[in-house]
Amino acid sequence: MKATFGAGCFWCIENDFRKNGVTSTSVGYMGGHVPNPTYEQVCTDTTGHAEVIQIEYDPSKISYKKLLDVFWNNHDPTTLNRQGPDVGIQYRSTIFFHTPEQEKEALESKDTLEKSGRYGKKIVTQIVPATEFYKAEEYHQQYYQKCGLG
């Protein structure tokens, strides 16, 4: 199964998802209007794309709900188009769902988190249908491992 999340810089979150049950990860771009964008284009904040991680996972080993937990616990879903020092639409908090079941689970998890009061602010995470995924340049893939950080 596939899951796709935007939670700020894709380098930062890819490592968080490389756990049991996740069979592969790829970082790239989704949600914009420019086909086959480059990193440089996405950084101009004009393509509409978010930096995302696309995950292949085995639902018998890890549930979509667990992936949502990783997503919520590894970024601030209350900041619009920003994560830490990174600012721009490409850093927005987004869940791109691939199935109606993923949409339902994502909406329920967002509602539960909002009602918990954990953040004390409104959650601005978008929950939208997945569109075409454009894989980022090879040097971005598993960046932390390549740099000895992961």
Per-residue pLDDT, 18: 80
Lookup result for tokens 């209350």: 78
10 Å CB burial of residue 23 (0-12, 13-18, 19+) is exposed
Q: How does 85-108 read in b/e, with b if 16+ C-beta sit within 10 Å? A: eeebbbbbbbbbbeeeebbebbee
| Domain that includes residue 71, residue range | 2-146
Calculate mean pLDDT across residues 93-110: 98
Domain count along the chain = 1
CATH number at residue 134: 3.30.1060.10
Residues tagged active-site: 9
Supply the pTM of this predicted model. 0.92
- Of the pLDDT bands very low, low, confident and very high (cuts 50, 70, 90), residue 111 is very high
In sequence order, what E strands does the chain have?
Answer: 2-7, 22-30, 50-57, 82-83, 86-87, 93-97, 126-129, 134-135
